Amino acid sequence: MQVDTDIRIEAIVGGEGPPLLLLHGHPQTRAIWHRVAPALAKHFTVVAADLRGYGDSSKPAGTADHANYAKRVMAQDQLSLMQSLGFAEFHVLAHDRGARVAHRLALDHPEAVKRMVLLDIAPTLAMYEQTNDAFARAYWHWFFLIQPAPLPERLIEADPAAYIRDVMGRRSAGLAPFDPRALAEYQRCIALPGTAHGICEDYRAAAGIDLQHDRADRDAGRLLETPLLALWGEQGVVHKCFQPLEEWKRVARQVEGRALPCGHYIAEEAPDALLEHALPFLLRDR
């Protein structure tokens, strides 16, 4: 779907009912939802989208200040996508980088996001400000990908399939949870021209302009008004290094959440547990 003159956001739409936007994380694509999308589609019109810079969506060259990969801009992509499909308001279920986009989407456009489920993140500002040795070692890619171009791009492009295997395989569950077809899709997409650069620009923006926006929100006392369910993996780094529920309570008015018995890739490692908690929350008040 063309969301402006230069940017195309690829998405799959299916199911029936109120609209639900699904956003993936790094280094993946909309394919992460393959184990939960059929169940969600029984209750919702599901829109599974690729973020700017990822999958089959557009991958523009980054600007000097990385502003065209700011979460504010990436959120606008997804808002424009949903509006182009005729959805003025919708729910969001998002993982990892997509959850950071969703956080900004709900802050900037609270009238559009009705309910939101965020998977395995704490707020970006909290994670950067609380970085310690254990976190830096586990989330090394946060600090690798923000290095000036073209160093990280060159290293990823030298063997993109290996980057997928190494980044995803070093998490708590290894590569065992991933369907070979999904893994092949992640490897296909990371090898596309511009993907390595798009991924790096996403992280460069997160370590720069996104923190400026987050600090401005904090200074202004601006909180998330959208009802939020935060879920995270009890075997993951976010659980070990932070207190996710407490951090979300600092930035949102209506928060609930808990750890699930899995690692980082919740939708693929623990799809049943995700549905058990996300569906009742998203269906509440209907």
Query: What are the residue numbers of the active site?
Result: 96, 264
In SS3 terms, the chain reads as CECCCCCECCEEEEECCCEEEEECCCCCCHHHHHHCHHHHCCCCEEEEECCCCCCCCCCCCCCCCCHHHCHHHHHHHHHHHHHHCCCCCEEEEEECHHHHHHHHHHHHCCCCEEEEEEECCCCHHHHHHCCCHHHHHHCCHHHHCCCCCCHHHHHHHHCHHHHHHHHHHCCCCCCCCCCHHHHHHHHHHHCCCCHHHHHHHHHHHHCCHHHHHHHHHHHHCCCECCCEEEEEECCCHHHHHCCHHHHHHHHECCEEEEEECCCCCHHHHCHHHHHHHHHHHHHCCC
